[in-house]
Amino acid sequence: MHTRVRPPAAAILILIANGCSSKDDAIPDDAGGVDVGSTDEGSEADAASADGASDTAADAGAPGFCTSEKPTVTASGAAFSATTTHYELYAETTEADATELARLLEASSAAFAAWFERPPPAERMKVRYYKDSAAWAAGLTADGIAVPTGSGGYYSPSTKTAYLFAQGNPYYSHVLAVHEATHQFHQLTRATSVTLPVWYAEGHAEYLSRHDWDGQCVRLGVTSLLSWEDLPAKVTTIDVGAIVGGTAVATRPEAWAIFRYLDTGAEKARFKAFRDAFDAGKSPSFADLVAPPASLTAPVLAWLPSAQEPMKPIYTEWIHVGPHAVNVDTPGVFSLAVVKAPTVTHFEGKARVPATGKWSVGVVVSYTDPKNYVGVVHDSDGTVSTFTATGSAVWAKVGTAPKPVGAEVFSVEYAAGRANVTFNGASVSVAAPTPRAGLAANDTAASFHDVIWTP
């Protein structure tokens, strides 16, 4: 018997930015999606200065930018200061996390420079990353900035500093950091006004902040394999005419949808011309340069199903890396992430597991809801076991498999209500009463890659 111990249900705040602060002309940003531990199936969808470009992650159209820079990191009270060529980061976290965040920001500076077609500012850009909302509020107050209500991030033109605090999922903490850094780079290098329409300012930041990051190379403006916030699933309807026309204020998901659609679709070149003119303060006509805004509502709604994140984390331990790669860090508990498409005939992938010590990784083969599912995992001792949750949970040994050579290789084939699961060439057959494919891990930190499936 194994009962999952779920993370504390500390609320992740949500904010829909409705405009600029009259005091500071800055845009407050949200702190995440939903409460930790809750679930939401969302919409169904099939999978579908830089040191160099990365091919390890992202949308085909998103260029990669890499960094080999090692930040200078020093202790600063209970926090760390991490300095790179273009950033000065204050971070209330571990030294390792501060170093990682500084490297992500540094790699992103090259991506920003390419996107905005401007070099980074000569002066290092300042980012302050706090341990929680109380520390963040205190930091803003100390700098003379009114604390936005229900926000997790804030860029202030008056101090030229991006402020944010740690979120309930590491990937979303990084998303929020890139979001604020987008506002910062935009304002410092290109925008001629600090008062921008919400759909445009937030669209920029929400679009670019969805990123792939493998520890060395970043790609901005991608569709995540999975994320706890799952922004695309939150767009259920949209009125592009009202939003771009100024008679309605975009939610963050709507701003993301409009911006991503325009930058990745048939209007890309025309939208680029609009952005160039708009950022230069020329007051261009959107209708003349791009299209009549109302004419875009139907195509955006038709496009949305193809823009969904293909997988869903059922619990918070899953961290997006790239289009076919995700990390998991799930000490003490069984955790899973599932393919959104309900019908999958084949599922496969590989996993990098710890070189020493115990580990347990595998697949989900049946899923109804967070309390009713079947997982099949391969343990470091060679045991293959099922983990059957039906309100409570039961372990059962069903076979053995060889230890991985290089990487754990796994696959699932579905037929006649059963799943044939293979680990490193050894197969077991288990019942799959509600077939649904996904990834699973128990009390393990591991990296999954080459994750693909077919309907």
244-270: pLDDT as tens digits: 999 999 999 999 999 999 999 999 999
Verify that 362 and 419 share a domain, yes or no: yes
Q: Which structural domain range is residue 97 located in? A: 28-303
Verify that 264 and 375 share a domain, yes or no: no
Verify that 353 and 265 share a domain, yes or no: no
Q: Are strands 125-130 and 161-165 parallel, antiparallel or unpaired?
A: parallel
Per-residue pLDDT, 90? 98
The amino acid sitting at 192 is T
Across the range 342-360, mean pLDDT stands at 95
Q: Are strands 87-91 and 72-76 parallel, antiparallel or unpaired?
A: unpaired
Confidence of residue 9 (pLDDT cuts 50, 70, 90): very low
In a domain, 231, yes or no: yes
Tens digits of per-residue pLDDT, 365-420?
999 999 999 999 999 999 999 999 998 899 999 999 999 999 999 999 999 999 99
Per-residue pLDDT, 76? 86
Per-residue pLDDT, 51? 33
* 8 Å CB contact between 103 and 97: no
In a domain, 38, yes or no: yes
Per-residue pLDDT, 61? 56
CA 312 vs. chain centroid, Å, equals: 11
Verify that 66 and 189 share a domain, yes or no: yes
Verify that 299 and 373 share a domain, yes or no: no
3-state secondary structure at position 25 = coil
- Is the pLDDT score of 160 beyond 90? yes
Averaged confidence pLDDT in the chain: 88
In a domain, 184, yes or no: yes
3-state secondary structure at position 165 = strand
- Is the pLDDT score of 15 beyond 60? no
In a domain, 180, yes or no: yes
Q: Of 303, 337, 367, which residue sits at a domain end?
A: 303
Verify that 171 and 257 share a domain, yes or no: yes
Rounded CA-CA distance 174/214 in Å is 12
Q: What is the CATH number of the domain that holds 389?
A: 2.60.120.560
Tens digits of per-residue pLDDT, 41-97?
333 333 333 333 333 333 545 689 999 999 999 998 889 999 999 999 999 999 999
Q: How far is CA 237 from CA 17, 142, 311, 390, in A?
A: 18, 40, 21, 35
Q: Of 245, 274, 303, which residue sits at a domain end?
A: 303
Rounded CA-CA distance 200/246 in Å is 11
Verify that 165 and 32 share a domain, yes or no: yes
**With left for phi above 0 and alpha for psi between -120 and 50, is residue 230 left, alpha or beta?**
left
Verify that 291 and 368 share a domain, yes or no: no
Q: What is the CATH number of the domain that holds 284?
A: 1.10.390
In a domain, 318, yes or no: no
In a domain, 449, yes or no: yes
Verify that 246 and 137 share a domain, yes or no: yes
- Is the pLDDT score of 181 beyond 90? yes
Q: Of 251, 274, 303, which residue sits at a domain end?
A: 303
CA 438 vs. chain centroid, Å, equals: 18
Verify that 60 and 155 share a domain, yes or no: yes
Across the range 98-103, mean pLDDT stands at 98
Q: What is the pTM assigned to this prediction?
A: 0.87
Number of domains making up the chain: 2
- Is the pLDDT score of 241 beyond 50? yes
Contacting residues for 176 by C-beta, under 8 A, at least 6 apart: 29, 31, 32, 152, 153, 164, 167, 209
Per-residue pLDDT, 25? 36
Confidence of residue 194 (pLDDT cuts 50, 70, 90): confident
* 8 Å CB contact between 83 and 115: no
Tens digits of per-residue pLDDT, 112-126?
999 999 999 999 999
Verify that 240 and 114 share a domain, yes or no: yes
Q: Beta-carbon neighbour count of residue 3 at 10 Å? A: 11
In a domain, 407, yes or no: yes
Across the range 338-366, mean pLDDT stands at 96
What kind and span of H or E run contains 111?
helix 95-116
In a domain, 316, yes or no: no
Rounded CA-CA distance 13/299 in Å is 31
Rounded CA-CA distance 62/218 in Å is 10
Per-residue pLDDT, 356? 92
- Is the pLDDT score of 27 beyond 50? no
Verify that 333 and 286 share a domain, yes or no: no
The percentage of residues in the chain with a pLDDT greater than 90, rounded to a whole number, is 83
